[in-house]
Amino acid sequence: MLFFSVYNINIFSGGGIILPREQTELIEEQTLCEQACLSKNTKGRLKDIKKCDLRTDFQRDRDRILHSNSFRRLKHKAQVFLFPTGDHYRTRLTHTLEVSQIARTIGRALRLNEDLIEAIALGHDLGHTPFGHEGERVLNELSPAGFKHYEQSLRVVDHIDKLNLTYEVRNGILTHTNQIADTKEGYVVRLADVIAYINHDIDDSIRADVLSETDIPSDISNVLGHSKSERITTLVKSIVKNGAENIRMDDDIKDAHDKLHKFMFQSVYTNPKCKSEEVKVKDLLGTLFNYFYDNFDRMPDQYKELAYDFSKETAVCDYVAGMTDSYAINTFEELFIPKGWNG
């Protein structure tokens, strides 16, 4: 048996009692590729803590993210379609899970550290606002320091949920949008994020009758495929084919993918049919931001305490950014919509 107690036999070095975490670290060392980031080589945490007997540092980070409040709130935050009523539309949570699946598939094929990949993927969007990227644009205008969801995701794990994650996971979260990560695992998540959202947004747009599969130009479909599954498979295989040393898509595949990205911006992301309700987001979030700034005593204690280390504006921005779509709407209604008399 490989695991019969908390302690186990070192099958690689010929005996001796070692912890399950240490055995996993040995397995990583002997099975992962040269470019992989080994758990035992982490640069550490903001605050040192005792090692876990069972889990590597990256496994521990994954679990901390998974059990956090911010992760659970992703299930009620919009992906593309605001506050969708259908059960099958993506939310920020299902997007996160799809990113994790695609990234892990790539990572396993390349023999990278799958635990590190999973932790980064699960944490990459923790800082997203209610109402998707429109909410991000609104808070970027309101906050004196500006607002970027990837920076806020790092702020969430460091200061709001205080997860005390490893450097490698924090770096992967921060760089998942437009920077180069310090690990190959971080860069895999960045590519998986784009692959996931483009393809599941197509799926949701078809469900919403915004477009059909046949609307996608043939010069794109003939290269990437004619369905979500075919496109994802083509993109993932192209990355895996190029190996862990140079993680990238083939030139023709990337060109087709870039064209697909442009097509989605023209057909969906700026489509008035999809975005007509977004004009209301600015007024809603702007009103909430200004209200809690002027009535700071009504903020939850957790966020009021942040003002001591940062600023009042930052604390209000943290609170509003952490809201789900439904909580933001309900809070607005509670504060500003008159209620009927119930005497």
- Are 311 and 287 contained in the same domain? yes
Band of the pLDDT at 290, cuts 50, 70, 90?
very high
Total domains in the chain come to 3
Q: Which domain holds residue 169?
A: 74-126+161-270
- What is the reported pTM? 0.93
Question: What's the pLDDT tens digit per position in 28-48?
Answer: 999 999 999 999 999 999 999
Q: Taken in order 187, 189, 190, 191, is the CA torsion positive or negative? A: positive
Kindly list the distances between the CA atom of residue 202 and the CA atoms of 253, 261, 272, in Å, as whole numbers in the listed order: 18, 10, 16
- Spatial CB neighbours of 83, under 8 Å, sequence gap ≥ 6: 131, 325, 326, 329
- Are 262 and 296 contained in the same domain? no
- Are 107 and 199 contained in the same domain? yes
- Are 235 and 319 contained in the same domain? no
- Final residue before a domain boundary, out of 223, 238, 270: 270
Question: What's the pLDDT tens digit per position in 227-283?
Answer: 999 999 999 999 999 999 999 999 999 999 999 999 999 999 888 877 778 889 999
Structure token digits, residue 203: 């799926």
- Spatial CB neighbours of 237, under 8 Å, sequence gap ≥ 6: none
User: What are the residue ranges of helices labelled H in 12-91?
Assistant: 20-31, 57-66, 69-73
Main-chain phi, psi angles of 334, to 5 degrees = -60, -40
Q: Taken in order 232, 234, 235, 237, is the CA torsion positive or negative? A: positive
- Are 218 and 257 contained in the same domain? yes
Burial environment of residue 261 by CB neighbours within 10 A (0 to 12, 13 to 18, 19 or more): middle
Please report which helix (H) or strand (E) contains residue 249, including its range.
none
